[in-house]
Amino acid sequence: MNDDYKRIYKLVKTVPSGKVTTYGQISDKLKLNNPRLVGRALHNNPDPKSIPCHRVVNSKGGLAENFAFGGAITQKELLEKEGVSFKKDNVNLVEHLFSF
């Protein structure tokens, strides 16, 4: 596993239940300048039980159609179980966006 992936996983672990972050925020925080790299790392998540990649959404609060562990429907179900609310199909970022 490369060092960037390790840093991404470590940061994602800090996002609390009921909150979300974005690929871009993670990329900015880690000075990666590559939100797609964040997406690739999360798609290859080696431990979804301890690395909550379902808490990462796009900049508009959209879910990952190719969410590695069951698609957008599963991602939405996991977030709803944590109390995350939605406006149409997007996470309500006003209420649930986590800032590092």
Per-residue tens of pLDDT for the chain, all 100 residues: 799 999 999 999 999 999 999 999 999 999 999 999 999 999 999 998 899 999 999 999 999 887 667 788 899 999 999 999 999 889 999 999 999 8
Show Cβ contacts of residue 3 under 8 Å, excluding neighbours closer than 6 positions: none
Separation of alpha carbons 67 and 31, rounded Å: 24
CATH class name, domain 3-96: mainly alpha
Q: Is 99 buried (19+), middle (13-18) or exposed (0-12) by CB count in 10 A?
A: exposed
Residue found by looking up tokens 């993670």 in the block? 26
List residues with catalytic annotation: 53
Sign of the alpha-carbon dihedral angle for 76, 85, 81, 34: positive
